[in-house]
Structure 1
Amino acid sequence: MAARHKPGLPALPPVQAGPILHATPLVERWFWHYWQRLGLPESELVLLALTQDRREYQRWTGKRLNFMVLGCYCYVQLGGKASSSVADRASRKPGQLESGRTSPMLPLPGFGERALSRSAFAAGEVPRHRHCIFIEPDMQPRSIEVTVAHELIHLADRVRGTPRRHRHHGYDSIAADEAAITGYDLEELRQLLYEESARREQLRRARAPLRYIYVCPNCGKEYPRARRYSRPVSCSLCDKTYNPRYRLLLARELL
């Protein structure tokens, strides 16, 4: 784990008459299709911004996306923290687990009696949150479809007050919901994720070949890197949080 550093501050786009969709017609098509399929409330549309530009998403949320990320949903409270779907759909290797705990929260007004309508905005009521979505543009059409559906499932969870974190991408309850809403078989969804992840990995290695090998002084696990670490990093196997006792050491350089 890396030593903590201060994230950037969100710079959200202004609220407008409808959602902000900086995306291709294909992404827009699937956005509207799955918004209706999931029964999401119209009141949340004016609070949504979707982009296929990583830099724009970073400006909106203050969060930098890993190169391997294919899609991400982020819930941002004004004056508070940005809560992300943890860089979905390719941020982890197959089999790598994440906390399975859910975080029960109050549902947003969109599914209650106090839904904030467009007329309420005109009357001067200030919304206290935003929904931001990133969709990687360089994917095959089927992958774009299911990634849009996947991120809207995260949004639906948040609106209902029951956000979920992935236990295992492609094998958890979110994957099951994705299969149910899209009509794809679970194995087909897993194959799509594998193909897109492998392709992104090839692109990353073509741009940045592995040059350095770091090692944990405690367990001996090796960490290949394209660049040197810019700050102290410790072994995530020995401690999930940063621990200077397990600070990674540069073992060798590759030719």
Structure 2
Amino acid sequence: MTTAQKPTHSVRSAAPAPPPPQDNPIIHGDQATIQHWLHHYWQKLQLPEEELQLLAITQDRQEFMSWTGKRLNILALGCYGYLPPPVRRRRAPVSKATHRHLIFIEPDMQPQSIEVTIAHELIHLSDRVKGNPRRHRHHGYDSIAADEAAITGYSLEELRALLQMEGERREQIRRARRPIRYLYECPNCGKRYPRARRYSQAVSCSSCDKSYNPRFRLLLVPTTA
């Protein structure tokens, strides 16, 4: 969908508040499982030991969002966040603050999915350490997925099946929390847009025109009682 007008205001993110670094990586969640796979894939990726004390992992979504100062998509199974060293202001005392690696792992997954998600996020961490961070082109079908298959030993087909299964579970959870209540339809092509909330402004079909076009303004489909 394409909005008629972009909002003039922006939502400000909260300031990142990562936990103070410790001598060992911070793990909030299933300590035994995370520690096992963290050590396993840290060694396989040959990551520098000195980066471990800058790592914090949590299985709590709210905690991860407070650490990074950013929102986390409810469908996310895992997330890697990098915090650069804070900029020192003029005349400010010299600080030992440095960069941080922050990772979220969804706890409500089967063991195999937790394993590959840890490996996946550590690949992102490895890219950052090497100075070559990559963005996903298509989850499960890009170079990151190929690297994930190489270090975990699972085939790409197995990884894609896991991703699809866990993604469907997260979608079910989202729909249970925010059920579909509204349905919009394009008067031109007939494409339908399910919504949990009403649109707050006029929107048009992005399949018919990438820019807002009143000819393709979405219409609310009447619901049957």
2:19 is aligned with 1:16: no
Q: Retained in 1: the 8 A contact 2:80–2:104?
A: yes
Amino acid at match of 2:102: C
Per-residue deviation at 1:184?
0.5
1:208-240 CA deviation, whole Å, 9 max, x = no partner?
22011245689765321112356887766554x
Sort the Cα spacing of 1:61 and 1:235 in 2 relative to 1 into closer, same or farther, 3 A: farther
2:165 is aligned with 1:195: yes
Q: Retained in 2: the 8 A contact 1:170–1:189?
A: yes
2:73 is aligned with 1:66: yes
1:68-120 CA deviation, whole Å, 9 max, x = no partner?
1100001112447xxxxxxxxxxxxxxxxxxxxxxxxxxxxxxxxxxxxxxxx
CA distance in structure 1 between the aligned counterparts of 2:13 and 2:199, rounded to whole angstroms: 18
2:35 is aligned with 1:28: yes
Structure number with larger C-alpha Rg: 2
Partner of residue 44, structure 1: 51
Per-residue deviation at 1:201?
1.4
CA distance in structure 1 between the aligned counterparts of 2:205 and 2:58, rounded to whole angstroms: 34
Q: 1:235-246 to 2 correspondence within 5 Å? A: 238-239=209-210
Q: Retained in 2: the 8 A contact 1:214–1:248?
A: no
Sort the Cα spacing of 1:217 and 1:182 in 2 relative to 1 into closer, same or farther, 3 A: same
TM-score by length of 2: 0.81
Sort the Cα spacing of 1:181 and 1:79 in 2 relative to 1 into closer, same or farther, 3 A: same
Partner of residue 7, structure 1: 13
Alignment counterpart, residue 170 of structure 1, candidates 131, 134, 140: 140
Partner of residue 86, structure 1: none
SS state of the match for residue 134, structure 1? Answer: strand
TM-score by length of 1: 0.72
Per-residue deviation at 1:6?
2.0
Partner of residue 251, structure 1: 220
What percent of counterpart residues are identical?
62
SS state of the match for residue 143, structure 1? Answer: helix
SS state of the match for residue 131, structure 1? Answer: strand
Alignment counterpart, residue 83 of structure 2, candidates 68, 76, 80: 76
Partner of residue 57, structure 1: 64
Unpaired runs of 5+ in structure 1? 81-123
1:129-185 CA deviation, whole Å, 9 max, x = no partner?
111100000000000000000000000000001111111111111000000000001
SS state of the match for residue 21, structure 1? Answer: strand
Sort the Cα spacing of 1:220 and 1:208 in 2 relative to 1 into closer, same or farther, 3 A: same
Sort the Cα spacing of 1:213 and 1:174 in 2 relative to 1 into closer, same or farther, 3 A: same
CA distance in structure 2 between the aligned counterparts of 1:168 and 1:6, rounded to whole angstroms: 28
Per-residue deviation at 1:19?
1.1
Partner of residue 148, structure 1: 118
Unpaired runs of 5+ in structure 2? 88-93
CA distance in structure 1 between the aligned counterparts of 2:21 and 2:201, rounded to whole angstroms: 38
Per-residue deviation at 1:200?
1.4
1:29-85 CA deviation, whole Å, 9 max, x = no partner?
1111111111111111111110000000000001111111100001112447xxxxx
Q: Retained in 2: the 8 A contact 1:51–1:57?
A: yes
CA distance in structure 2 between the aligned counterparts of 1:233 and 1:69, rounded to whole angstroms: 26
CA distance in structure 2 between the aligned counterparts of 1:217 and 1:14, rounded to whole angstroms: 55
Partner of residue 91, structure 2: none
